[in-house]
Structure 1
Amino acid sequence: MDETLQIPDVVTVGEAMALLMARQPLPLAEVSEFERATAGAELNVAVGLSRLGYKVGYVSALGKDSLGRNLLDFMQAEGLDLRHVRLDQQHPTGFMLKSMALDGSDPEVEYFRRGSAASHLSRADIPSGAYQRARLLHLTGISPALSDSCRDMALTMAAQARGAGRMVTFDPNLRPRLWPTQEAMIETVNALASLADVVMPGLGEGKLLTGCGDAAGIADFYLARGARQVVVKLGPQGAYYAGPEGRGIAPGVPVRKVVDTVGAGDGFAVGVISALLEGLPLALAAARGNAVGARVVQFRGDCEGLPTRSELGLQ
């Protein structure tokens, strides 16, 4: 096969996890019935971009167990390029539990990922060849939190892609429980953000990471440190965007009923990244991010609400 036909549009790296969603609106300790789905911030973005017609290469590791097999089947069905998903016989596939929240609030979440297969990813797993020629690399602040070797891998991939002139997008996606200290989290996440072309923090995340009190200050912080474009997620109020084309607010998209907030930020990233790949201005990219995020919160699973092009009203 011609090597150029194997080049993905987008490459991302992260941990795919089995998701066990409560089928009863009770505290997790009292739930007896769960439904299996899939989770993982980078996996959500990969699936979302694949549904919009992009070729997506996913870099990860799964345990050679039933959870890993189920995830692999799901990713294959979604059309992801899995050449660099490694099966690990020594370490298990991570999983998480999620409660059912009927009032639209953030559900209770518990992770079981310490020592997982993906936490043993390292610089040795960085792909070469076609993956090094992808148009865009997407990273989050979750992968570097999994282990020292994962942190080294993420920073190396970001530096390589930025140095080669490829676009790098970054979602801080803070998970404080995965980090040894808040200081370590802030230092590493901001180091990765400084290697990205596009940084997409939430307002609360941005305040913690930068010490700035508003979206404009957060954007200034990252623009001064190397980012070319910044989009700050404002929840139902929309998103603040800043870059060479100017600044502004893309209004939020009204939602009749919020079912599950988990995965909304990943959906937002799908909208922004897909629009930028199509050459649209940042204002329209932020608006598409709002549209996809608003759709995702109306479904229970992390991936279930990610739209196809026709569902998003695109040709």
Structure 2
Amino acid sequence: MSNPKPRIALIGECMIELQQRADGSLLQSFGGDTLNTAVYLARALGDRGAVDYVTALGDDSFSDAMCASWAAENIGLQRVQRLPGRLPGLYCIQTDAAGERRFLYWRNEAAVRDCFTTPAAGPILAALLDYDVLYFSGVTLAVLGEQGRGKLIETLVEARRRGALVVFDNNFRPRLWASIEAARAAYRSVLPYVELALLTVEDEQALFGHADSEAVFAAYAQLGTPEVVLKRGAAACLIHCDGQSYEVPALRVERVVDTTAAGDSFSAAYLASRLLGGSPVEAAEAGHRLASRVIQVPGALMPKD
């Protein structure tokens, strides 16, 4: 998987993030599953890779601030559309005493829903064919809608044919789908083209009803997915890669503050390590290290320092 300086495009949605504190006050920042991964990936790779984010935003001050924050993280903006009169989505994180989170969303009119249906989308989709890695998630599939999702799938098929690495994080969010049947159909339309699947057992069980980890691995083996990683929170992650199996323990954390972006950061560190020539075990160890730090601070993104 090693590449001298890979070009990676992450496709998805960034939203305005509100963190509700114990006293009821709100701290505003930005977040979203693929954006969280993009930030941590860009930090991990530094000048050893180029990370671009692919999305659609509005022409408002929040969208301006998002772009400025991404540029400060060395994330490329050339695939970001700015749609006049539109706004980004918004969500609020509420956490309990154990650090577990609850999300409230306002995203039905978010600009990203038209990301691949505008006149400007054609050149962006064409440009994606020149990337070394294309990364997306189950949330990406949901927010793009049927038409945008179809255009993304066409692009993934051609990119894979040209040798790009297609990476998928399953991130199943039931409230984003009209029905579980619609979600299953969408996932099944893209899974045959995925080469690195970053999964959680809970999402696989909720979506496909797999009984356990072995059932998940068996399902992806039938699809022919070369590398499958099962993220299991505080438990060891499990990996099947090119016929080999690995179990990599997580790191113990004394006090969990906020589990937001734990899986996103793990995925970023895992992918960065693999792109830089690390083994699956080394990549999982890097993922655990980063995730163990992320869950000790509030919000999705740790300060750079």
Q: What is the one-letter code of the residue matched to 1:263?
A: A
2:26 corresponds in structure 1 to 34
State yes or no: 1:90 paired with 2:85. Answer: yes
With normalisation by structure 2, the TM-score equals 0.90
Matched residue SS, 1:83: coil
Find the aligned partners of 2:125 and 2:212 in 1 and give their Cα distance.
Answer: 40
2:71 to 70, 73, 76: 76
Q: CA deviation at 1:247?
A: 0.3
2:56 to 53, 58, 61: 61
* Residues 144 and 152, structure 1, Cα contact 8 Å, conserved in 2: no
Gap regions ≥5 residues in structure 2: none
Alignment of 1:128-277 (within 5 A): 131-146=128-143, 147-244=145-242, 246-277=244-275
With normalisation by structure 1, the TM-score equals 0.87
* Residues 101 and 259, structure 1, Cα contact 8 Å, conserved in 2: no
Matched residue SS, 2:42: helix
* Residues 245 and 282, structure 1, Cα contact 8 Å, conserved in 2: no
1:102 to 93, 97, 102: 97
Structure 1 pair 153–303 and aligned structure 2 pair: CA distance change class (3 A): farther
Matched residue SS, 2:77: strand
What is the CA deviation profile of residues 216-268 of structure 1, one whole-angstrom value per residue up to 9, with x for unaligned ones? 22112112113111011111012110021510211111112111111111011
What is the CA deviation profile of residues 102-161 of structure 1, one whole-angstrom value per residue up to 9, with x for unaligned ones? 3222x2211111121111111662526664322211110111111223322332232122
Q: What is the one-letter code of the residue matched to 2:107?
A: R
What is the CA deviation profile of residues 250-287 of structure 1, one whole-angstrom value per residue up to 9, with x for unaligned ones? 11111121111111110111021111101222222222
Matched residue SS, 1:11: strand
2:43 to 32, 51, 54: 51
Matched residue SS, 2:298: coil
Structure 1 pair 176–279 and aligned structure 2 pair: CA distance change class (3 A): same
1:119 corresponds in structure 2 to 113
Gap regions ≥5 residues in structure 1: 1-6, 26-30, 309-315
* Residues 125 and 155, structure 2, Cα contact 8 Å, conserved in 1: no
Find the aligned partners of 1:203 and 1:245 in 2 and give their Cα distance.
Answer: 20
Q: What is the one-letter code of the residue matched to 1:37?
A: S
Structure 1 pair 298–157 and aligned structure 2 pair: CA distance change class (3 A): farther
Find the aligned partners of 1:91 and 1:8 in 2 and give their Cα distance.
Answer: 32
1:24 corresponds in structure 2 to 22
Q: Cα RMSD over matched residues?
A: 1.9
Structure 1 pair 118–16 and aligned structure 2 pair: CA distance change class (3 A): same
